[in-house]
Structure 1
């Protein structure tokens, strides 16, 4: 039976999209709203309405990254993974499939080197970064450590002569600290493209080489740290779809290296991201799996790192008792730690110090409705924060200002925002940009205040 085309446009109506819309029970306005929400998670602010959906239903094919965003919106609504082919927006001539693979890039056993090479294409502005993949709830379902290791058996091979020697591996290891320092001081957007290119040109090719087992472990450890770090940089720059894919690749590298501590650190980062985006149950589950994975495989400082995130995620899920218990566990583990000077966010993986614990305590208290306690804890976090951690200090000052304003402390809020604006011009960070937008929005009703006029003027020049 011939497919009918619209006489006016010559397009074939998208019957698959129409059927999915009827199955999920959404109006065209509701689909537009859902797609806007998925896009916002990766920093792409859309204002789609029913007219856009009407065009899609009539057969117009939206440009990337729109198809991936539509597929994710339907996947969430129907609670099953849909591909671009399933929604009628895949390559023409392809039939629908239900395995959730190819079109959205979720092969069950990805090659880490190939994935790093593919992801390096998405180094530009937010629309291009979103094209690297929408943030997908299906990718938050990850195996526990035992299952992950069991699914990747150890390969026994005859050692071959390799072009990679200890010197090359030491160079890669040294780059971990170089890129970490840049991220901590200047924000994730400053060196993200450079790190993505470095992973592609210098690291990915070596992952396919045969080499001595000890040397391979060192290479995989450095590759895992760098991949985790670029994931965090993407998170900091609010490119959440890309961040998620880099985190998944870091999980794969940690599994290949039989490194449960790195696996747990990456799960913890995925939990942080899920909570920030409002996926609270997923965040709590990921934090729980991180804690379980770290048992027997991490030092006390690392265990504090995991328990602190579990406290925040549990508080976000409205579990007061669980949050207080997890926070107490984090405090105990940090007290047992012998080192308290490792940077918090960035590489080395799993770093933690008192400023980080105070930060998590502030988040827990704020989520549980204790605004005054949150202010006290966040102020302590800022006092203990190392001077080199400019990005963290700026974002914490912005958050402290918001908490003060919530309590009606206008002068204290102004002081905290002034400290934020001091650091802001030196940062390239999507989170910092969002904090600046929040500052402008919240201070606008108080625009007649002289200090606020001056603050807003400085922000406009930043």
Structure 2
């Protein structure tokens, strides 16, 4: 075996030791749903020319990408034999990419683990810049023709999947939606259609991909969620729809913020807001600008975060739009943005008030959002030393949790147990912990 000089050079450029690279690789593996236990010995083997199994080369490449601030491919690490350079994302056949993605996306959670979230993939063009990028054709085939009736059916399925997700979580809905995309929507994208129907079909497909991305996000499958969001953006571009392109970029911003990539989150949220056409509804403007505020607060830009939060509130006040299965916004969502901003600014009482207001305004059907909000509110109560209120709030969370299949909710349950462990001598804390164990056993049965 020949020594891996490419990896050695990257280590030198990054200033990392072998152990440091191993630590970052393990951390990215956890982000992708994998349990890796590499150490400096493993990296030493790589330097001698050994290649780890996929997706480890991709994880190593992503680690260096984040460290060096430039794109590093798996081939550039010397850990992937026979690697080929992928074609530019915005010039490939988007329908073929969707077909391949949702074929895998219908698999089990275990099979989906290992799809790597890429910081380099977040370098997306603004809407105006897309005009200079030659997009791949989406050729129609003679196998069939999409009529308005098929399109109406797809929109009805979008409503159905969205409603089920709100009430029961992404884990129940994701496999079914991925299969629907693979067996029905992806083939329709290649069928013939009248121009108006074809454009509307691509928008509806973008909405379904956006929703599938969110279901993966809810299941903490961040690599595949990112790919669905990017396909949603590309389908919106193919339809010539700037509004849904902006909504897809907003989703990427939310994900980046949740994963700690603050600068990328601000850039994506800002690009999304700028992509909105002048005719965009006030509700959608509030939806996007609220995310700009949340991203800026996470990046410690207090002044602009407060300005944009007020702007989102103003747009929502002037909205007369109806609720949509994708990109909806209402007072509960705005209050949740208020809480995110105030928490980042260290204003815990204001964050608690905002989350309480969000719960009061939250539509009854949005069980998963209510559960996540309750879990966050309980943590803030405990941070303030209010153990009784934290226990009461976590008790409410468990009432909703029993109906959900959501990895985010599972993570919140793990946080509940960890945070209450030092307080088990206190009867209310012990009671909530016992209830959590009972609910978990009942769900596993």
Measure, in 2, the Cα distance between the counterparts of 1:118 and 1:156: 15
* Residue equivalent to 1:421: 398
Does residue 89 of structure 1 match 2:59? no
After superposition, the C-alpha distances for 1:9-62 in whole angstroms (9 at most, x for unaligned) are xxx443322232223221011001111222233343433321222232233322
Q: How many angstroms does 1:295 deviate by?
A: 4.3
Corresponding pairs, count? 438
Work out the CA distance in 1 between the residues paired with 2:166 and 2:266.
26
Whole-Å separation in 2 of the counterparts to 1:84 and 1:156: 29
Q: CA 1:319–1:392 in structure 2 vs 1: closer, same or farther (change >3 Å)?
A: same
2:146 is paired with a residue whose SS is coil
Of 7, 14, 39, the match for 2:4: 14
Cα gap change, 1:311 to 1:187, in 2 (>3 Å): same
8 A contact 2:32–2:113 mirrored in 1:
yes
1:78 lines up with 2:75 in the alignment: no
The equivalent of 2:133 in structure 1 is: 151
Deviations 1:253-273 (A, max 9, x none): 000111111011111111111
Q: CA deviation at 1:71?
A: 1.3
Partner of 1:231: 213
| Among candidates 375, 382, 393, match of residue 405 of structure 1 | 382
Asked whether the equivalents of residues 166 and 368 of structure 2 are also in contact (C-alpha less than 8 Å), the reply is yes
RMSD of aligned alpha carbons: 2.2
Q: Where does residue 269 of structure 2 map in the other structure? A: 287
For the residue of structure 1 that corresponds to 2:79, the secondary structure is coil
Query: Where do 5+ consecutive residues of structure 2 fail to align?
Result: 441-445
After TM superposition, the structure 1 stretch with the greater mean CA deviation from structure 2, 114-123 or 408-417, is 114-123
The equivalent residue for 2:117 is 135
Aligned residue among 290, 296, 305 for 2:287:
305
C-alpha separation in 2, matches of 1:199 and 1:16: 40
Counterpart-to-counterpart distance in 1, 2:105 and 2:144: 31
2: CA distance, partners of 1:228 / 1:244: 10
User: Which residue is equivalent to 2:422?
Assistant: 445
Is contact 2:335-2:357 (8 Å) kept? yes
1:269 to 234, 245, 251: 251
Which of 197, 205, 209 matches 2:191? 209
Distance between the aligned counterparts of 1:418 and 1:63, measured in 2? 43
Which residue in the other structure is 2:48 paired with?
58
- TM-score, with structure 1 as normaliser: 0.90
- Bigger shift: residues 158-167 or 31-40: 158-167
The CA distance in 2 between the partners of 1:290 and 1:20, in whole Å, is 33
**Alpha-carbon distance change, 327 to 295 in structure 1, aligned in 2, over 3 angstroms:** farther
Kindly tell me: are residues 126 and 45 of structure 1, through their superposed partners in 2, closer, same or farther at Cα, counting changes over 3 Å? farther
Match of 2:181 in 1: 199
Measured at CA, do residues 125 and 32 of structure 1 come closer, stay the same or move farther in structure 2, by a change above 3 Å?
farther
Tell me the distance in 2 between the aligned counterparts of 1:179 and 1:394. Answer: 19
| 1:447 shift after superposition | 1.1
Q: How does 1:375-386 map to 2 (within 5 A)?
A: 375-386=352-363
Find the aligned partners of 1:26 and 1:156 in 2 and give their Cα distance.
44
**Cross-structure match for 2:166:** 184
Q: Deviations over 1:230-282 (max 9, x none)?
A: 01111111111111111110110000111111011111111111100001111
CA distance in 2, matches of 1:238, 1:326: 28
User: Does the 8 Å contact 1:149/1:258 carry over to 2?
Assistant: no
Structure 1 segments unaligned to the other structure (5+ residues): 6-11
1:201 Cα deviation from its structure 2 partner: 1.1
